[in-house]
Structure 1
């Protein structure tokens, strides 16, 4: 940043007077320029809605102290959120296991800056519990070891294990696909045999109509039904009996409508 942080690292030098020499004047000018530019950079990185709540100052160190005092109360809430994230974070496989471990390591470093120390051994166990079930064998092997890993050792070992699982996955997929295809073939073969052994059921009505195909052409003019003529119609005979009309087998015409 071209020594723009000079005003943050060093205190303001004594003001220039008539007795100041050339070196003192150059040092003050360098500090004043760094203070002015660094203050501009700090203010431009703060959102306008937040900048108005911070006490203004023409010295960058005093302005940063106001920013610190303004957000000091939220450090406890930030620590609680980080702890909750570490407890609930699980590796879902969408990103690499290296990125997952580095993300949890970053959370631990932020907690350290908030005066909540997280030891390396505790962090390693935290990361182990966040790994999915396919790392169970890897976890068992680690628990059986006497040596303790650092986070850098854990990253390298987890990356190797993930690569090994990826190489073994296509073989298991192939075996599963082959087994499923065999099952489907067996089911299709059995269903074909069952269909072959089945005897089609016969419809008695269909057999009767096929044995007497002329019955489909008969039509009764009295009851408007098919399969018989008017002279053989039971309803027509019943109607004749009610009217007292002798049953004439040759009658083919229906009753006259009133």
Structure 2
């Protein structure tokens, strides 16, 4: 009795085989328990089946819980089979294709070297001159013309005397 009850309570549908056979196995265990004078109601058995279904049946479970009427075991089987068929149709099989070019990675190696070269050029780039006046020998922050322009721009003009 305890082993039958434990096996019924621990059953989980793993997606192998079809769901009808799985539910029928649960029903057979429940009928064996009934022969041992432990009777499970059909509503309880339906709920145990629903609980044991995997996550991809979650939408199906929600639909059942939203309805006012309770299903019989036969109705549950037919709805589960329909849901399983729908899931199989929705499930798209896909393959990820990988292609190799004829140069077998030479392009990638070249791209990596080019990227490293750009990084090195950026790191070792020395200033070529002032960005403000364009003359060499100093940079913008040291440029006297830049400082004069900035002071003129930011200082308010004083009213001219007549």
TM-score relative to the length of structure 1: 0.40
3-state DSSP class of the match of 1:198?
A: helix
Q: Indicate the residue corresponding to 2:5 in structure 1.
A: 83
Alignment of 1:79-228 (within 5 A): 79-170=1-92, 173-174=93-94, 177=96, 193-199=111-117
Q: CA deviation at 1:192?
A: 5.6
Query: Rg: which structure is higher?
Result: 1
List runs of 5+ in structure 2 lacking aligned partners.
99-104, 118-162
- Aligned CA RMSD, in angstroms, stands at 2.5
Is the alpha carbon distance of 1:168 and 1:110 closer, same or farther for their aligned partners in structure 2, counting shifts above 3 Å? same
Aligned residues: 111
Query: Which has more helix, going by share of residues?
Result: 1
Q: CA deviation at 1:190?
A: 7.7
Q: CA deviation at 1:198?
A: 2.8
Q: CA deviation at 1:191?
A: 7.0
Q: Indicate the residue corresponding to 2:128 in structure 1.
A: none
Instruction: List per-residue Cα deviations over 1:215-252 (Å, max 9, x = no partner).
Output: xxxxxxxxxxxxxxxxxxxxxxxxxxxxxxxxxxxxxx
CA distance in 2, matches of 1:150, 1:192: 67
Instruction: List per-residue Cα deviations over 1:49-105 (Å, max 9, x = no partner).
Output: xxxxxxxxxxxxxxxxxxxxxxxxxxxxxx111100011110011111000000000
3-state DSSP class of the match of 2:91?
A: helix
